Amino acid sequence: MLLYDTLRSGNAWKVRLMASLAGVPIERRTLSIDRGDLAKPSFLAVAPLRHVPVLQLPDGSHLAESLAILHYLAQGTRWWPDTLPGQSSVLTWLSFEQDRHMKPLAQLRLILALHPGGDPQDALCIAHARAARAALSVLDTQLARQGQDGWVATRDHPSIADVALYPYTCMAPMGGIALNDYPAVQAWLKRIESLPRYQALFPGQPERNLSTQEQP
């Protein structure tokens, strides 16, 4: 399968992480927002939502949205639970990720790290920081409730909810959000990074997870 991504997209990182953890081989077609690749007709033809990630499936069709792609890749694996309560709990945390978690963290990283020159005292940044801290507090409370070795939605085994929530939580410090106040989150990040076949933002270079460098 072929993944359309960009080098530093956290939403595409979710997909590459999931594919690696589930042992699904994927090829990458890495585009550049700065070069205008996402506005080109060749990309728009396969990406009606005009965002990465997009995954080309074996039948030639294209699937958009990171969480839909995680759901696709996890079928038949323990990353998508086989009980209705388990599946429903995963959906709860996927909704949380899109509704309250990803956007403020992604925007802060974009404004303050990837496009340097942003002002953390700007009203928009202050609002994003407040929303990001509120989301991390919810996540920390949930992880503490799940126990020392527990996972976000399903206590005994990680699910696609853990994969979905990992990248932007891990990269929160790039947007000025320190993780020291969230001990259960910090321990959970380490558990994810210890999983067999964990994949860093730049494959094989976990020390660059918080890097602003474009070079591969």
Q: Sign of the CA dihedral 216, 190, 75, 49? A: negative
Judged by CB, which is closer to ligand GSH: 104, or 150?
104
Question: What minimum distance in Å lies between the beta carbon of 4 and ligand GSH?
Answer: 9
CB 177 within 8 A of CB 133: yes
Which one-letter DSSP state was computed for residue 65? Answer: S
Judged by CB, which is closer to ligand GSH: 66, or 154?
66
Question: What minimum distance in Å lies between the beta carbon of 205 and ligand GSH?
Answer: 19
Judged by CB, which is closer to ligand GSH: 36, or 120?
36
CB 114 within 8 A of CB 8: yes
Report the amino acid identity of residue 23: G
Dist. CA 210–CA 207, nearest whole Å: 7
E strands, the chain, in order? 2-6, 27-31, 54-56, 62-64
Tokens 């696709």 sit at which residue? 72
Question: What minimum distance in Å lies between the beta carbon of 31 and ligand GSH?
Answer: 9
Question: What minimum distance in Å lies between the beta carbon of 138 and ligand GSH?
Answer: 18
Distances (CA, A) of 159 to 34, 90, 111, 121: 33, 7, 30, 36
CA atoms within 13 A on the CB side of 144: 10
Helix (H, G, I), strand (E, B) or coil at 51: coil
CB 147 within 8 A of CB 102: no
Judged by CB, which is closer to ligand GSH: 102, or 177?
102
Judged by CB, which is closer to ligand GSH: 44, or 147?
44
Question: What minimum distance in Å lies between the beta carbon of 44 and ligand GSH?
Answer: 11
Pairing of strands 62-64, 54-56: antiparallel
Judged by CB, which is closer to ligand GSH: 40, or 155?
40
Question: What minimum distance in Å lies between the beta carbon of 77 and ligand GSH?
Answer: 20
Q: Which residues bind ligand GSH (CB under 6 A)?
A: 9-11, 33, 38, 51-53, 65-67, 98
